[in-house]
Amino acid sequence: MAPLPTHDHLPGLDSGLLAAVAAGHARLTGAQALEVFHGLPLSELGRLADARCRVIHGDALRTYVIDRNINYTNVCNAKCTFCAFRRDGDEQDAYTLSHEAILDKIAELVGIGGTQILMQGGMNPALPLDWYTRLLSSIKNRFPGVHIHAFSPPEFIEFVHFFNPPGATLEDKIRWVMVRLRDAGLDSVPGGGGEIFAPAVRRKIGLGKCDAEAWLTTMYVAHSLGMFTSATMMFGHIEGYADRVDHMLRVRSWQDKALELKGRAEGPAAHYVSFISWPFQRENTPLGRVPDWGSSPGELESPFPGDVIAAGGDFPAGKRAADLFDYDAIDRAKHPTAHLFGKRVRMSGSTDYLRTQALSRLVLDNVYSIGASWVTMGPHIGQVALAYGANDMGSVMMEENVVSSAGTTYCLDEPVLCRLIRGAGFIPAQRDNRYDLVTVHSGEDAPDLRVTDWSKHRAKAMHQQAPKAAKVSLTVAKA
Protein backbone atom coordinates (compact mmCIF):
# COMPACT_ATOMS: atom_id res chain seq x y z
CA MET A 1 0.00 0.00 0.00
CA ALA A 2 1.58 3.28 -1.11
CA PRO A 3 1.70 6.14 1.39
CA LEU A 4 -0.77 8.97 0.87
CA PRO A 5 0.62 12.01 -0.99
CA THR A 6 1.85 15.10 0.85
CA HIS A 7 1.43 18.68 -0.37
CA ASP A 8 4.41 20.37 1.21
CA HIS A 9 3.79 23.73 -0.42
CA LEU A 10 0.46 24.24 1.36
CA PRO A 11 0.16 25.83 4.78
CA GLY A 12 -1.06 23.47 7.50
CA LEU A 13 -4.30 25.39 7.96
CA ASP A 14 -5.26 25.30 4.28
CA SER A 15 -8.90 24.26 4.24
CA GLY A 16 -8.56 22.14 1.12
CA LEU A 17 -5.61 20.28 2.59
CA LEU A 18 -7.45 19.63 5.85
CA ALA A 19 -10.54 18.39 4.00
CA ALA A 20 -8.34 15.99 2.01
CA VAL A 21 -6.61 14.76 5.17
CA ALA A 22 -9.96 14.19 6.90
CA ALA A 23 -11.21 12.27 3.87
CA GLY A 24 -8.08 10.11 3.78
CA HIS A 25 -6.74 11.49 0.51
CA ALA A 26 -3.68 13.41 1.76
CA ARG A 27 -1.00 13.22 4.41
CA LEU A 28 0.15 16.00 6.74
CA THR A 29 3.84 16.84 6.86
CA GLY A 30 5.43 17.38 10.27
CA ALA A 31 5.48 21.15 9.86
CA GLN A 32 1.82 21.17 8.78
CA ALA A 33 0.88 18.94 11.73
CA LEU A 34 2.51 21.35 14.13
CA GLU A 35 0.63 24.25 12.58
CA VAL A 36 -2.63 22.32 12.90
CA PHE A 37 -1.89 21.54 16.54
CA HIS A 38 -1.26 25.16 17.41
CA GLY A 39 -3.48 26.94 14.94
CA LEU A 40 -6.87 25.22 14.93
CA PRO A 41 -9.49 25.84 17.60
CA LEU A 42 -9.99 22.72 19.72
CA SER A 43 -13.49 22.12 18.39
CA GLU A 44 -12.32 22.32 14.77
CA LEU A 45 -9.42 19.95 15.41
CA GLY A 46 -11.92 17.58 17.02
CA ARG A 47 -14.31 17.89 14.10
CA LEU A 48 -11.62 16.97 11.59
CA ALA A 49 -10.35 14.05 13.69
CA ASP A 50 -13.90 12.81 14.13
CA ALA A 51 -14.50 13.04 10.39
CA ARG A 52 -11.34 11.02 9.75
CA CYS A 53 -12.39 8.48 12.35
CA ARG A 54 -15.82 8.08 10.76
CA VAL A 55 -14.27 7.47 7.34
CA ILE A 56 -12.28 4.59 8.82
CA HIS A 57 -14.72 3.19 11.38
CA GLY A 58 -18.17 4.30 10.26
CA ASP A 59 -20.83 6.13 12.25
CA ALA A 60 -22.41 3.34 14.25
CA LEU A 61 -20.02 1.34 16.44
CA ARG A 62 -17.25 2.12 18.87
CA THR A 63 -15.36 -0.69 20.51
CA TYR A 64 -13.79 -2.01 23.68
CA VAL A 65 -12.01 -5.20 24.65
CA ILE A 66 -12.16 -7.39 27.74
CA ASP A 67 -8.61 -8.16 28.71
CA ARG A 68 -6.54 -8.15 31.83
CA ASN A 69 -3.33 -6.30 32.58
CA ILE A 70 -0.93 -8.67 34.22
CA ASN A 71 2.29 -7.11 35.46
CA TYR A 72 4.29 -10.24 36.09
CA THR A 73 7.12 -8.54 37.96
CA ASN A 74 7.91 -5.07 39.27
CA VAL A 75 11.64 -5.79 39.51
CA CYS A 76 13.36 -3.70 36.87
CA ASN A 77 16.90 -2.81 36.01
CA ALA A 78 15.90 0.45 34.32
CA LYS A 79 15.27 3.64 36.24
CA CYS A 80 12.78 5.64 34.24
CA THR A 81 12.22 8.91 36.03
CA PHE A 82 8.46 8.84 35.36
CA CYS A 83 7.97 5.39 36.89
CA ALA A 84 6.50 4.69 40.33
CA PHE A 85 6.09 0.97 39.67
CA ARG A 86 9.65 -0.38 39.51
CA ARG A 87 11.59 -1.95 42.38
CA ASP A 88 15.24 -2.96 42.61
CA GLY A 89 14.40 -6.45 43.83
CA ASP A 90 15.32 -6.41 47.49
CA GLU A 91 12.45 -4.23 48.75
CA GLN A 92 9.64 -5.76 50.72
CA ASP A 93 7.10 -5.05 48.00
CA ALA A 94 9.23 -6.29 45.08
CA TYR A 95 7.46 -9.21 43.43
CA THR A 96 7.49 -11.72 40.63
CA LEU A 97 4.25 -13.59 40.12
CA SER A 98 4.41 -17.37 40.04
CA HIS A 99 3.09 -19.10 36.93
CA GLU A 100 0.22 -20.44 39.02
CA ALA A 101 -0.76 -16.94 40.15
CA ILE A 102 -0.77 -15.75 36.53
CA LEU A 103 -2.90 -18.72 35.44
CA ASP A 104 -5.37 -17.96 38.26
CA LYS A 105 -5.69 -14.39 37.03
CA ILE A 106 -6.40 -15.60 33.51
CA ALA A 107 -9.06 -18.00 34.83
CA GLU A 108 -10.81 -14.99 36.42
CA LEU A 109 -10.60 -13.13 33.11
CA VAL A 110 -12.11 -16.02 31.17
CA GLY A 111 -14.85 -16.15 33.80
CA ILE A 112 -16.06 -12.68 32.78
CA GLY A 113 -15.84 -13.30 29.04
CA GLY A 114 -12.33 -11.92 28.51
CA THR A 115 -10.42 -12.70 25.35
CA GLN A 116 -6.85 -11.51 25.89
CA ILE A 117 -4.16 -10.67 28.40
CA LEU A 118 -1.82 -7.73 28.26
CA MET A 119 1.25 -8.97 30.10
CA GLN A 120 4.19 -6.66 30.73
CA GLY A 121 6.68 -6.32 33.51
CA GLY A 122 9.77 -4.70 34.71
CA MET A 123 13.00 -5.90 33.13
CA ASN A 124 13.99 -8.51 35.64
CA PRO A 125 17.49 -9.98 35.14
CA ALA A 126 16.70 -12.95 37.38
CA LEU A 127 14.20 -14.53 34.97
CA PRO A 128 15.67 -16.93 32.37
CA LEU A 129 14.23 -17.48 28.89
CA ASP A 130 12.84 -20.78 30.05
CA TRP A 131 10.67 -18.97 32.65
CA TYR A 132 8.94 -17.13 29.81
CA THR A 133 8.58 -20.05 27.41
CA ARG A 134 7.16 -22.33 30.11
CA LEU A 135 4.73 -19.61 31.16
CA LEU A 136 3.50 -19.01 27.61
CA SER A 137 3.10 -22.75 26.94
CA SER A 138 1.14 -23.25 30.15
CA ILE A 139 -1.20 -20.38 29.30
CA LYS A 140 -1.83 -21.74 25.80
CA ASN A 141 -2.34 -25.29 27.10
CA ARG A 142 -4.88 -24.23 29.67
CA PHE A 143 -6.53 -21.33 27.81
CA PRO A 144 -6.04 -21.95 24.08
CA GLY A 145 -8.58 -19.25 23.18
CA VAL A 146 -6.87 -16.47 25.12
CA HIS A 147 -4.78 -14.09 23.03
CA ILE A 148 -1.40 -13.31 24.59
CA HIS A 149 -0.39 -9.70 23.97
CA ALA A 150 2.87 -9.43 25.87
CA PHE A 151 6.40 -8.06 26.35
CA SER A 152 7.00 -4.54 25.11
CA PRO A 153 10.07 -3.57 23.03
CA PRO A 154 12.18 -2.48 26.04
CA GLU A 155 11.64 -5.94 27.53
CA PHE A 156 12.77 -7.56 24.28
CA ILE A 157 15.90 -5.43 24.22
CA GLU A 158 16.71 -6.52 27.76
CA PHE A 159 15.96 -10.14 26.81
CA VAL A 160 18.73 -9.73 24.25
CA HIS A 161 21.07 -8.48 26.99
CA PHE A 162 19.99 -11.14 29.48
CA PHE A 163 19.93 -14.20 27.18
CA ASN A 164 22.81 -13.31 24.83
CA PRO A 165 21.20 -14.90 21.75
CA PRO A 166 23.16 -15.62 18.54
CA GLY A 167 23.02 -13.12 15.68
CA ALA A 168 25.17 -10.58 13.87
CA THR A 169 22.84 -7.64 14.41
CA LEU A 170 20.42 -6.45 17.05
CA GLU A 171 17.60 -7.32 14.65
CA ASP A 172 18.86 -10.92 14.36
CA LYS A 173 19.10 -11.25 18.13
CA ILE A 174 15.63 -9.86 18.73
CA ARG A 175 14.28 -12.24 16.08
CA TRP A 176 15.94 -15.24 17.75
CA VAL A 177 14.26 -14.45 21.08
CA MET A 178 10.93 -13.47 19.56
CA VAL A 179 10.65 -16.65 17.49
CA ARG A 180 11.08 -18.72 20.66
CA LEU A 181 8.44 -16.73 22.52
CA ARG A 182 6.10 -16.83 19.53
CA ASP A 183 6.51 -20.59 19.22
CA ALA A 184 5.71 -20.92 22.92
CA GLY A 185 2.46 -18.97 22.54
CA LEU A 186 3.08 -15.23 22.20
CA ASP A 187 0.51 -13.76 19.79
CA SER A 188 1.31 -10.06 19.55
CA VAL A 189 3.52 -7.33 21.00
CA PRO A 190 2.19 -4.31 22.95
CA GLY A 191 3.63 -0.86 22.43
CA GLY A 192 4.70 -0.13 25.99
CA GLY A 193 7.82 1.93 26.56
CA GLY A 194 7.32 4.23 23.58
CA GLU A 195 7.23 7.36 25.79
CA ILE A 196 8.77 10.06 23.53
CA PHE A 197 11.16 8.90 20.82
CA ALA A 198 13.17 12.11 20.44
CA PRO A 199 16.65 11.23 21.74
CA ALA A 200 17.18 14.33 23.86
CA VAL A 201 13.97 13.67 25.80
CA ARG A 202 14.34 9.92 25.97
CA ARG A 203 17.86 10.14 27.37
CA LYS A 204 16.60 12.26 30.24
CA ILE A 205 13.46 10.31 31.23
CA GLY A 206 14.10 6.69 30.26
CA LEU A 207 17.28 5.85 32.14
CA GLY A 208 18.35 2.35 31.12
CA LYS A 209 15.58 1.95 28.59
CA CYS A 210 16.18 1.25 24.89
CA ASP A 211 16.38 4.09 22.37
CA ALA A 212 13.84 4.80 19.65
CA GLU A 213 15.74 2.90 16.96
CA ALA A 214 15.80 -0.28 19.06
CA TRP A 215 12.13 0.15 20.00
CA LEU A 216 11.05 0.57 16.39
CA THR A 217 13.34 -2.22 15.20
CA THR A 218 11.76 -4.61 17.70
CA MET A 219 8.35 -3.83 16.30
CA TYR A 220 9.64 -4.26 12.76
CA VAL A 221 10.86 -7.74 13.67
CA ALA A 222 7.45 -8.53 15.16
CA HIS A 223 5.79 -7.35 11.96
CA SER A 224 8.13 -9.44 9.84
CA LEU A 225 7.13 -12.48 11.90
CA GLY A 226 3.44 -11.81 11.33
CA MET A 227 2.77 -10.39 14.79
CA PHE A 228 0.53 -7.34 15.10
CA THR A 229 1.56 -4.58 17.48
CA SER A 230 0.43 -1.31 18.99
CA ALA A 231 2.27 1.98 19.44
CA THR A 232 2.11 4.38 22.36
CA MET A 233 3.21 7.83 23.42
CA MET A 234 3.44 9.36 26.90
CA PHE A 235 3.56 13.12 26.75
CA GLY A 236 3.12 16.15 28.98
CA HIS A 237 6.45 16.28 30.76
CA ILE A 238 9.73 17.76 29.49
CA GLU A 239 9.15 17.37 25.75
CA GLY A 240 8.36 20.07 23.22
CA TYR A 241 5.23 19.92 21.10
CA ALA A 242 7.37 19.16 18.06
CA ASP A 243 8.63 16.05 19.87
CA ARG A 244 5.07 14.71 19.91
CA VAL A 245 4.73 15.27 16.18
CA ASP A 246 8.17 13.75 15.60
CA HIS A 247 7.05 10.69 17.59
CA MET A 248 3.94 10.25 15.46
CA LEU A 249 5.96 10.66 12.27
CA ARG A 250 8.38 7.92 13.30
CA VAL A 251 5.48 5.52 13.90
CA ARG A 252 3.96 6.49 10.56
CA SER A 253 7.15 6.02 8.65
CA TRP A 254 7.89 2.59 10.17
CA GLN A 255 4.27 1.67 9.49
CA ASP A 256 4.89 2.52 5.83
CA LYS A 257 7.79 0.03 5.94
CA ALA A 258 5.64 -2.62 7.59
CA LEU A 259 2.86 -2.21 5.03
CA GLU A 260 5.41 -2.42 2.23
CA LEU A 261 6.73 -5.64 3.79
CA LYS A 262 3.20 -6.97 3.80
CA GLY A 263 2.72 -6.04 0.16
CA ARG A 264 5.72 -8.14 -0.83
CA ALA A 265 3.91 -11.30 0.32
CA GLU A 266 7.02 -13.13 1.39
CA GLY A 267 5.11 -14.85 4.13
CA PRO A 268 3.14 -13.63 7.10
CA ALA A 269 3.66 -9.97 7.78
CA ALA A 270 1.86 -7.60 10.10
CA HIS A 271 1.89 -3.98 11.22
CA TYR A 272 0.78 -1.51 13.90
CA VAL A 273 -2.93 -1.86 14.51
CA SER A 274 -3.42 0.88 17.05
CA PHE A 275 -1.96 3.97 18.66
CA ILE A 276 -2.75 5.28 22.11
CA SER A 277 -1.30 8.29 23.86
CA TRP A 278 -1.69 9.53 27.40
CA PRO A 279 -0.35 12.26 29.65
CA PHE A 280 2.38 11.59 32.20
CA GLN A 281 1.05 10.87 35.72
CA ARG A 282 3.36 12.42 38.27
CA GLU A 283 2.56 11.06 41.76
CA ASN A 284 5.34 9.08 43.47
CA THR A 285 7.73 9.54 40.54
CA PRO A 286 11.11 11.32 40.46
CA LEU A 287 10.05 13.27 37.35
CA GLY A 288 6.89 14.33 39.17
CA ARG A 289 9.02 16.20 41.69
CA VAL A 290 10.51 18.40 38.96
CA PRO A 291 9.04 21.92 39.23
CA ASP A 292 6.30 23.01 36.87
CA TRP A 293 7.20 25.42 34.13
CA GLY A 294 6.25 28.83 35.43
CA SER A 295 7.08 28.09 39.03
CA SER A 296 9.86 30.71 38.97
CA PRO A 297 9.06 34.39 38.32
CA GLY A 298 9.07 35.39 34.66
CA GLU A 299 9.47 31.88 33.25
CA LEU A 300 6.21 31.87 31.35
CA GLU A 301 7.37 34.81 29.28
CA SER A 302 10.04 32.63 27.68
CA PRO A 303 9.57 29.56 25.49
CA PHE A 304 9.31 26.24 27.33
CA PRO A 305 12.75 24.56 27.37
CA GLY A 306 11.34 21.47 25.65
CA ASP A 307 10.18 23.63 22.74
CA VAL A 308 13.62 25.19 22.49
CA ILE A 309 15.31 21.81 22.21
CA ALA A 310 12.41 19.99 20.51
CA ALA A 311 13.10 17.10 18.19
CA GLY A 312 16.77 17.90 17.83
CA GLY A 313 17.91 18.34 14.28
CA ASP A 314 15.81 15.49 12.97
CA PHE A 315 12.60 17.35 12.37
CA PRO A 316 11.38 16.77 8.81
CA ALA A 317 12.51 18.99 6.00
CA GLY A 318 15.07 20.58 8.28
CA LYS A 319 12.34 22.21 10.33
CA ARG A 320 12.46 22.47 14.06
CA ALA A 321 9.74 23.80 16.27
CA ALA A 322 12.03 26.75 16.65
CA ASP A 323 11.77 27.48 12.94
CA LEU A 324 8.02 27.57 13.13
CA PHE A 325 7.42 29.66 16.20
CA ASP A 326 9.64 32.69 15.95
CA TYR A 327 12.50 31.04 17.72
CA ASP A 328 14.55 31.33 14.52
CA ALA A 329 16.95 33.81 15.92
CA ILE A 330 17.59 31.70 18.98
CA ASP A 331 20.93 30.06 19.42
CA ARG A 332 19.64 27.13 21.44
CA ALA A 333 22.86 26.49 23.27
CA LYS A 334 22.83 30.06 24.51
CA HIS A 335 19.11 30.44 24.88
CA PRO A 336 18.26 31.49 28.42
CA THR A 337 15.91 28.58 28.99
CA ALA A 338 17.95 25.83 27.28
CA HIS A 339 19.73 24.96 30.52
CA LEU A 340 16.33 24.24 32.09
CA PHE A 341 15.59 21.43 29.65
CA GLY A 342 14.66 18.41 31.79
CA LYS A 343 14.45 20.60 34.86
CA ARG A 344 10.92 21.83 34.30
CA VAL A 345 7.77 19.90 33.40
CA ARG A 346 4.76 21.11 31.46
CA MET A 347 1.94 18.87 32.62
CA SER A 348 -0.88 18.10 30.26
CA GLY A 349 -4.56 18.79 31.00
CA SER A 350 -7.75 17.66 29.31
CA THR A 351 -7.69 19.98 26.33
CA ASP A 352 -4.02 19.32 25.60
CA TYR A 353 -4.80 15.62 25.75
CA LEU A 354 -7.74 15.97 23.36
CA ARG A 355 -5.67 18.08 20.97
CA THR A 356 -2.85 15.56 20.97
CA GLN A 357 -5.13 12.61 20.44
CA ALA A 358 -7.04 14.39 17.65
CA LEU A 359 -3.77 15.27 15.94
CA SER A 360 -2.65 11.64 16.16
CA ARG A 361 -5.79 10.58 14.25
CA LEU A 362 -4.94 13.04 11.48
CA VAL A 363 -1.20 12.32 11.32
CA LEU A 364 -1.36 8.53 11.61
CA ASP A 365 -3.27 8.02 8.39
CA ASN A 366 -1.94 4.46 8.05
CA VAL A 367 -2.85 3.22 11.56
CA TYR A 368 -6.29 1.67 11.97
CA SER A 369 -7.24 2.41 15.55
CA ILE A 370 -6.80 5.32 17.95
CA GLY A 371 -7.51 4.45 21.57
CA ALA A 372 -8.98 6.76 24.21
CA SER A 373 -7.04 6.85 27.46
CA TRP A 374 -9.75 6.93 30.11
CA VAL A 375 -7.39 5.13 32.50
CA THR A 376 -5.40 8.34 32.91
CA MET A 377 -7.96 10.96 31.91
CA GLY A 378 -10.99 9.55 33.69
CA PRO A 379 -14.15 8.07 32.23
CA HIS A 380 -15.74 11.32 31.12
CA ILE A 381 -12.81 12.74 29.19
CA GLY A 382 -12.42 9.20 27.82
CA GLN A 383 -15.98 9.47 26.57
CA VAL A 384 -15.38 12.92 25.06
CA ALA A 385 -12.29 11.48 23.36
CA LEU A 386 -14.66 9.46 21.16
CA ALA A 387 -15.54 12.78 19.49
CA TYR A 388 -11.83 13.64 19.06
CA GLY A 389 -10.68 10.86 16.79
CA ALA A 390 -10.74 7.83 19.10
CA ASN A 391 -12.70 4.77 17.99
CA ASP A 392 -11.83 2.48 20.87
CA MET A 393 -12.18 2.63 24.65
CA GLY A 394 -9.57 -0.02 25.32
CA SER A 395 -10.13 -2.53 28.01
CA VAL A 396 -12.23 -2.98 31.09
CA MET A 397 -9.76 -2.73 33.93
CA MET A 398 -9.81 -5.68 36.30
CA GLU A 399 -6.46 -4.70 37.69
CA GLU A 400 -3.92 -1.98 37.02
CA ASN A 401 -0.60 -1.56 38.76
CA VAL A 402 1.58 0.77 36.72
CA VAL A 403 -0.40 3.95 36.19
CA SER A 404 -2.08 3.50 39.59
CA SER A 405 1.36 3.53 41.23
CA ALA A 406 1.66 7.06 39.83
CA GLY A 407 -1.59 8.15 41.40
CA THR A 408 -4.31 7.43 38.86
CA THR A 409 -6.83 4.83 39.87
CA TYR A 410 -9.70 4.66 37.40
CA CYS A 411 -11.08 1.17 36.88
CA LEU A 412 -14.23 0.49 34.88
CA ASP A 413 -16.30 -2.61 34.27
CA GLU A 414 -18.10 -3.64 31.09
CA PRO A 415 -21.50 -2.01 31.82
CA VAL A 416 -19.83 1.36 32.50
CA LEU A 417 -17.69 1.17 29.36
CA CYS A 418 -20.77 0.33 27.29
CA ARG A 419 -22.72 3.15 28.93
CA LEU A 420 -19.96 5.66 28.13
CA ILE A 421 -19.85 4.57 24.49
CA ARG A 422 -23.64 4.67 24.15
CA GLY A 423 -23.75 8.06 25.87
CA ALA A 424 -21.33 9.36 23.24
CA GLY A 425 -23.82 8.38 20.54
CA PHE A 426 -22.51 4.99 19.43
CA ILE A 427 -23.41 1.34 19.81
CA PRO A 428 -20.85 -0.40 22.03
CA ALA A 429 -19.20 -3.49 20.57
CA GLN A 430 -16.77 -5.89 22.19
CA ARG A 431 -13.76 -6.59 19.95
CA ASP A 432 -10.79 -8.90 19.99
CA ASN A 433 -7.10 -8.06 19.64
CA ARG A 434 -7.35 -7.72 15.85
CA TYR A 435 -10.38 -5.44 16.18
CA ASP A 436 -12.72 -8.09 14.84
CA LEU A 437 -16.10 -7.77 16.52
CA VAL A 438 -17.01 -10.30 19.21
CA THR A 439 -20.44 -8.94 20.24
CA VAL A 440 -22.38 -5.89 19.07
CA HIS A 441 -24.54 -4.62 21.93
CA SER A 442 -27.48 -3.27 19.99
CA GLY A 443 -30.18 -5.22 21.85
CA GLU A 444 -31.88 -4.77 25.20
CA ASP A 445 -29.68 -7.40 26.81
CA ALA A 446 -26.58 -5.17 26.44
CA PRO A 447 -24.38 -5.04 29.57
CA ASP A 448 -25.30 -1.41 30.29
CA LEU A 449 -29.00 -1.76 29.53
CA ARG A 450 -29.38 -4.57 32.06
CA VAL A 451 -28.08 -2.47 34.97
CA THR A 452 -30.72 -1.19 37.38
CA ASP A 453 -28.44 0.10 40.16
CA TRP A 454 -25.48 2.16 38.92
CA SER A 455 -24.24 2.84 42.45
CA LYS A 456 -22.35 -0.45 42.31
CA HIS A 457 -20.50 0.61 39.18
CA ARG A 458 -18.68 3.75 40.30
CA ALA A 459 -15.31 4.20 38.65
CA LYS A 460 -12.91 4.67 41.54
CA ALA A 461 -14.65 2.26 43.89
CA MET A 462 -13.73 -0.61 41.62
CA HIS A 463 -10.03 -0.06 41.68
CA GLN A 464 -8.03 -2.91 43.13
CA GLN A 465 -4.31 -3.16 43.49
CA ALA A 466 -2.78 -6.52 42.74
CA PRO A 467 -2.45 -8.50 45.95
CA LYS A 468 1.04 -8.70 47.34
CA ALA A 469 2.48 -11.59 45.44
CA ALA A 470 4.75 -14.26 46.80
CA LYS A 471 8.31 -13.83 45.63
CA VAL A 472 9.79 -16.60 43.57
CA SER A 473 13.42 -17.50 44.06
CA LEU A 474 15.40 -17.70 40.90
CA THR A 475 19.12 -18.00 40.84
CA VAL A 476 19.82 -17.48 37.15
CA ALA A 477 21.97 -14.44 36.80
CA LYS A 478 22.24 -11.94 33.99
CA ALA A 479 23.96 -13.60 31.06
Positions in the binding site for ligand SF4 (CB under 6 A): 76, 78-80, 83, 85-86, 122-123, 154, 209
410/403 Cα distance (integer angstroms): 9
195 or 352: CB nearest ligand SF4: 195
> What does each C-alpha distance from 240 to 204, 244, 362 come to in angstroms?
13, 7, 19
CB closer to ligand SF4, 92 vs 452: 92
Rounded to a whole number of angstroms, the minimum distance from the CB of residue 74 to ligand SF4 is: 7
**Reduced to 3 states, what is the DSSP secondary structure of residue 214?**
helix
Task: Tell me whether residue 77 or residue 395 sits nearer to ligand SF4 (CB atom).
Answer: 77
Closest approach of Cβ 159 to ligand SF4, in Å?
Answer: 13
416 contacts: CB under 8 Å, gap ≥ 6: 379, 448, 457, 459
Cβ closest to ligand SF4, residue 200 vs residue 386: 200
Which is closer to ligand SF4, CB of 83 or CB of 222? 83
Taking a C-beta distance cutoff of 8 angstroms, is the pair 98, 174 a contact? no
DSSP state of 293: T
- Residue 235 CB, nearest approach to ligand SF4 (Å): 15
CB atoms within 10 A of CB 92: 8
Q: How many residues are given for the chain?
A: 479
CA distances from 41 to 3, 351, 384 (A): 28, 11, 16
Give the count of beta carbons closer than 10 Å to the beta carbon of residue 27: 22
Side by side, which strands form the sheet with 67-71? 67-71, 116-120, 147-150
Start-end of H helices in 40-144 = 42-57, 99-111, 129-142
- Of 46 and 125, nearer to ligand SF4 (C-beta) is 125
CB of 412 to ligand SF4, least distance (A): 23
**Rounded to the nearest whole angstrom, what is the least distance from the CB of residue 76 to ligand SF4 in the complex?**
3
Shortest Cβ 324–ligand SF4 spacing (Å): 31
Q: Which is nearer to ligand SF4, 86 or 202 (CB)?
A: 86
Which runs of consecutive H residues, i.e. helices, occur in 164-240?
Answer: 170-184, 199-205, 212-224
Give the nearest distance from C-beta 229 to ligand SF4 in angstroms: 17
State the nearest-atom distance from the C-beta of 217 to ligand SF4, in Å: 17
Give me the torsion for CA of 371, 374, 420, 400, rounded to 10°.
100
Least spacing, CB of residue 79 vs ligand SF4, in Å: 6
Number of Cβ atoms within 10 Å of the Cβ of 455: 6
Rank residues 115 and 285 by Cβ distance to ligand SF4 and give the closer one: 285
Instruction: Give whichever of 224 and 404 is closer to ligand SF4, judged by the CB atom.
Output: 404
